[in-house]
Amino acid sequence: IEVLQIALHLEPDSERRRADVEKVIQQREKYLSDAVESYRSAVRQQPANPEIYDALGALYLMQGELGLAEDSFRSALKLAPDNAPARLHLGKTLYERMQIEEAIQAFQRVILVQPNLAEAYQQLGIIEQEQGQLAEAIQHLQQARSLEPGDAMTHYHLGLAYQGQNLLSDAMTAYQTALRLKPDLAVAYSHLGDVYTQQGSLRVGLTFYQKFLKLAKLRPDLKRQIAEVETKSAELFKSEGGDARQ
Protein backbone atom coordinates (compact mmCIF):
# COMPACT_ATOMS: atom_id res chain seq x y z
CA ILE A 1 0.00 0.00 0.00
CA GLU A 2 2.76 2.46 0.96
CA VAL A 3 4.60 1.92 -2.36
CA LEU A 4 1.42 2.54 -4.34
CA GLN A 5 0.60 5.64 -2.29
CA ILE A 6 4.06 7.01 -3.07
CA ALA A 7 3.49 6.32 -6.76
CA LEU A 8 0.15 8.13 -6.54
CA HIS A 9 1.87 11.08 -4.83
CA LEU A 10 4.31 11.25 -7.77
CA GLU A 11 1.49 10.91 -10.31
CA PRO A 12 -1.51 12.54 -8.58
CA ASP A 13 -3.54 12.69 -11.80
CA SER A 14 -3.03 9.02 -12.68
CA GLU A 15 -6.36 7.21 -12.57
CA ARG A 16 -4.59 3.87 -12.89
CA ARG A 17 -2.44 4.54 -9.82
CA ARG A 18 -5.47 5.68 -7.86
CA ALA A 19 -7.37 2.56 -8.87
CA ASP A 20 -4.40 0.36 -7.84
CA VAL A 21 -4.27 1.97 -4.39
CA GLU A 22 -8.02 1.62 -3.88
CA LYS A 23 -7.92 -2.02 -5.01
CA VAL A 24 -5.13 -2.96 -2.60
CA ILE A 25 -6.83 -1.13 0.28
CA GLN A 26 -10.09 -2.93 -0.45
CA GLN A 27 -8.29 -6.29 -0.57
CA ARG A 28 -6.60 -5.56 2.76
CA GLU A 29 -9.87 -4.50 4.35
CA LYS A 30 -11.59 -7.65 3.11
CA TYR A 31 -8.77 -9.83 4.42
CA LEU A 32 -8.96 -8.19 7.84
CA SER A 33 -12.75 -8.37 7.91
CA ASP A 34 -12.70 -12.07 7.02
CA ALA A 35 -10.00 -12.74 9.63
CA VAL A 36 -12.00 -10.89 12.30
CA GLU A 37 -15.08 -12.99 11.57
CA SER A 38 -12.99 -16.15 11.73
CA TYR A 39 -11.54 -15.26 15.14
CA ARG A 40 -14.91 -14.10 16.48
CA SER A 41 -16.21 -17.54 15.58
CA ALA A 42 -13.21 -19.11 17.31
CA VAL A 43 -13.94 -17.08 20.46
CA ARG A 44 -17.47 -18.45 20.55
CA GLN A 45 -16.10 -21.98 20.22
CA GLN A 46 -13.21 -21.53 22.68
CA PRO A 47 -14.24 -18.76 25.09
CA ALA A 48 -11.52 -19.70 27.60
CA ASN A 49 -8.61 -19.39 25.15
CA PRO A 50 -6.68 -16.12 25.81
CA GLU A 51 -4.56 -16.46 22.66
CA ILE A 52 -7.65 -16.19 20.48
CA TYR A 53 -8.75 -12.99 22.22
CA ASP A 54 -5.22 -11.62 21.76
CA ALA A 55 -5.21 -12.46 18.05
CA LEU A 56 -8.65 -10.92 17.60
CA GLY A 57 -7.51 -7.78 19.39
CA ALA A 58 -4.47 -7.55 17.13
CA LEU A 59 -6.76 -7.63 14.09
CA TYR A 60 -8.99 -4.93 15.56
CA LEU A 61 -5.85 -2.86 16.21
CA MET A 62 -4.85 -3.21 12.55
CA GLN A 63 -8.33 -2.02 11.59
CA GLY A 64 -8.04 1.00 13.88
CA GLU A 65 -10.88 -0.28 16.06
CA LEU A 66 -9.14 0.71 19.28
CA GLY A 67 -12.09 0.22 21.63
CA LEU A 68 -12.76 -3.30 20.36
CA ALA A 69 -9.03 -4.06 20.45
CA GLU A 70 -8.80 -2.95 24.09
CA ASP A 71 -11.80 -5.06 25.04
CA SER A 72 -10.27 -8.14 23.40
CA PHE A 73 -6.90 -7.71 25.07
CA ARG A 74 -8.55 -7.20 28.46
CA SER A 75 -10.57 -10.37 27.90
CA ALA A 76 -7.34 -12.25 27.20
CA LEU A 77 -5.75 -10.84 30.35
CA LYS A 78 -8.77 -11.68 32.47
CA LEU A 79 -8.18 -15.30 31.52
CA ALA A 80 -4.37 -15.12 31.72
CA PRO A 81 -3.09 -12.06 33.64
CA ASP A 82 0.56 -12.88 32.88
CA ASN A 83 0.07 -13.19 29.12
CA ALA A 84 2.91 -10.89 28.01
CA PRO A 85 1.92 -10.52 24.31
CA ALA A 86 -1.65 -9.53 25.22
CA ARG A 87 -0.46 -6.99 27.79
CA LEU A 88 2.09 -5.59 25.32
CA HIS A 89 -0.68 -5.18 22.74
CA LEU A 90 -2.91 -3.59 25.39
CA GLY A 91 -0.13 -1.08 26.13
CA LYS A 92 0.13 -0.18 22.45
CA THR A 93 -3.63 0.26 22.22
CA LEU A 94 -3.74 2.47 25.32
CA TYR A 95 -0.90 4.55 23.88
CA GLU A 96 -2.85 5.01 20.64
CA ARG A 97 -5.85 6.10 22.75
CA MET A 98 -3.63 8.64 24.56
CA GLN A 99 -4.07 6.84 27.87
CA ILE A 100 -0.38 7.29 28.56
CA GLU A 101 -0.16 6.41 32.25
CA GLU A 102 -2.08 3.19 31.75
CA ALA A 103 0.12 2.35 28.75
CA ILE A 104 3.24 2.87 30.88
CA GLN A 105 1.83 0.58 33.57
CA ALA A 106 1.09 -2.08 30.96
CA PHE A 107 4.63 -2.03 29.59
CA GLN A 108 6.09 -2.09 33.09
CA ARG A 109 3.96 -5.14 33.90
CA VAL A 110 5.20 -6.86 30.74
CA ILE A 111 8.80 -6.30 31.83
CA LEU A 112 8.06 -7.84 35.22
CA VAL A 113 6.49 -10.89 33.61
CA GLN A 114 8.89 -11.28 30.68
CA PRO A 115 12.08 -9.28 31.35
CA ASN A 116 13.76 -10.30 28.08
CA LEU A 117 11.09 -8.85 25.76
CA ALA A 118 12.87 -6.05 23.91
CA GLU A 119 9.71 -4.43 22.56
CA ALA A 120 8.39 -3.68 26.05
CA TYR A 121 11.54 -1.71 26.89
CA GLN A 122 11.38 -0.01 23.50
CA GLN A 123 7.78 1.11 23.87
CA LEU A 124 8.36 2.32 27.41
CA GLY A 125 11.47 4.20 26.31
CA ILE A 126 9.67 5.85 23.40
CA ILE A 127 6.95 7.18 25.71
CA GLU A 128 9.55 8.48 28.15
CA GLN A 129 11.50 10.11 25.33
CA GLU A 130 8.38 11.83 24.02
CA GLN A 131 7.52 13.04 27.55
CA GLY A 132 11.01 14.44 28.10
CA GLN A 133 12.05 11.85 30.67
CA LEU A 134 15.31 11.40 28.81
CA ALA A 135 17.47 9.65 31.42
CA GLU A 136 14.79 6.98 31.89
CA ALA A 137 14.25 6.74 28.14
CA ILE A 138 17.96 6.17 27.53
CA GLN A 139 18.05 3.44 30.16
CA HIS A 140 15.10 1.54 28.70
CA LEU A 141 16.10 2.03 25.06
CA GLN A 142 19.61 0.82 25.81
CA GLN A 143 18.08 -2.28 27.38
CA ALA A 144 15.94 -2.80 24.25
CA ARG A 145 19.05 -2.37 22.09
CA SER A 146 21.00 -4.96 24.07
CA LEU A 147 18.15 -7.47 23.68
CA GLU A 148 17.44 -6.73 20.01
CA PRO A 149 20.32 -4.80 18.40
CA GLY A 150 18.86 -5.06 14.90
CA ASP A 151 15.81 -2.86 15.52
CA ALA A 152 16.31 0.44 13.67
CA MET A 153 13.58 2.29 15.55
CA THR A 154 15.20 1.56 18.90
CA HIS A 155 18.43 3.17 17.67
CA TYR A 156 16.49 6.09 16.20
CA HIS A 157 14.62 6.90 19.40
CA LEU A 158 17.79 6.38 21.41
CA GLY A 159 19.35 9.01 19.15
CA LEU A 160 16.51 11.41 19.94
CA ALA A 161 17.00 10.86 23.68
CA TYR A 162 20.76 11.34 23.42
CA GLN A 163 20.27 14.49 21.36
CA GLY A 164 17.84 15.82 23.94
CA GLN A 165 20.56 15.34 26.56
CA ASN A 166 23.08 17.09 24.28
CA LEU A 167 25.07 13.85 23.95
CA LEU A 168 25.73 14.61 20.32
CA SER A 169 28.39 11.99 19.62
CA ASP A 170 26.17 9.24 21.01
CA ALA A 171 23.20 10.61 19.08
CA MET A 172 25.20 10.60 15.86
CA THR A 173 26.20 6.96 16.35
CA ALA A 174 22.61 5.96 17.11
CA TYR A 175 21.21 7.68 14.00
CA GLN A 176 23.92 6.22 11.79
CA THR A 177 23.19 2.74 13.12
CA ALA A 178 19.47 3.25 12.50
CA LEU A 179 20.20 4.23 8.91
CA ARG A 180 22.51 1.28 8.38
CA LEU A 181 19.65 -0.99 9.47
CA LYS A 182 16.94 0.98 7.64
CA PRO A 183 18.42 3.20 4.89
CA ASP A 184 15.02 4.70 3.99
CA LEU A 185 14.40 6.08 7.51
CA ALA A 186 14.14 9.64 6.27
CA VAL A 187 13.67 11.35 9.64
CA ALA A 188 17.03 10.02 10.86
CA TYR A 189 18.77 12.02 8.09
CA SER A 190 17.02 15.14 9.30
CA HIS A 191 18.19 14.67 12.87
CA LEU A 192 21.72 13.84 11.73
CA GLY A 193 21.65 17.15 9.91
CA ASP A 194 20.67 18.85 13.17
CA VAL A 195 23.51 17.15 15.07
CA TYR A 196 26.17 18.12 12.57
CA THR A 197 24.83 21.67 12.43
CA GLN A 198 24.93 21.90 16.23
CA GLN A 199 28.55 20.81 16.07
CA GLY A 200 29.32 23.53 13.53
CA SER A 201 29.73 21.18 10.53
CA LEU A 202 27.34 23.12 8.33
CA ARG A 203 28.26 21.55 5.01
CA VAL A 204 27.80 18.03 6.37
CA GLY A 205 24.57 19.05 8.07
CA LEU A 206 23.24 20.45 4.82
CA THR A 207 24.14 17.21 3.04
CA PHE A 208 22.00 15.22 5.45
CA TYR A 209 19.14 17.70 5.13
CA GLN A 210 19.27 17.19 1.37
CA LYS A 211 19.22 13.41 1.79
CA PHE A 212 16.16 13.78 3.99
CA LEU A 213 14.40 15.97 1.43
CA LYS A 214 15.17 13.53 -1.36
CA LEU A 215 13.52 10.68 0.53
CA ALA A 216 10.76 12.72 2.14
CA LYS A 217 9.37 14.05 -1.14
CA LEU A 218 7.98 10.54 -1.63
CA ARG A 219 6.26 10.66 1.76
CA PRO A 220 3.12 12.82 1.93
CA ASP A 221 2.94 12.18 5.68
CA LEU A 222 6.19 14.13 6.23
CA LYS A 223 4.88 17.44 4.88
CA ARG A 224 5.45 19.33 8.13
CA GLN A 225 9.00 17.99 8.55
CA ILE A 226 9.78 18.85 4.94
CA ALA A 227 8.81 22.49 5.51
CA GLU A 228 10.96 22.64 8.65
CA VAL A 229 14.04 21.16 6.94
CA GLU A 230 13.62 23.41 3.90
CA THR A 231 13.64 26.39 6.27
CA LYS A 232 16.77 25.12 8.03
CA SER A 233 18.52 24.54 4.72
CA ALA A 234 17.65 28.02 3.49
CA GLU A 235 18.97 29.53 6.72
CA LEU A 236 22.24 27.63 6.33
CA PHE A 237 22.71 28.96 2.81
CA LYS A 238 21.83 32.46 3.91
CA SER A 239 24.16 32.45 6.94
CA GLU A 240 27.04 31.27 4.77
CA GLY A 241 26.43 33.68 1.95
CA GLY A 242 24.99 31.01 -0.29
CA ASP A 243 27.71 28.45 0.41
CA ALA A 244 27.42 26.19 3.46
CA ARG A 245 31.07 25.90 4.41
CA GLN A 246 32.29 24.18 7.54
Q: Residue 29 has what pLDDT?
A: 82
CA distance 200 to 207: 13
Whether residue 5 has pLDDT greater than 80 = no
Model confidence, pTM: 0.83
Sign of torsion over alpha carbons 212, 217, 222, 226: positive
pLDDT, tens digit, 9 for 90 and up, residues 29-43: 888 888 999 999 999
Q: Could you tell me what percent of the chain has a pLDDT over 70?
A: 87
CA distance 180 to 189: 11
Cβ pair 206, 198 in contact under 8 A: no
Mean pLDDT of 103-125: 97
Q: Which amino acid is at 90?
A: L
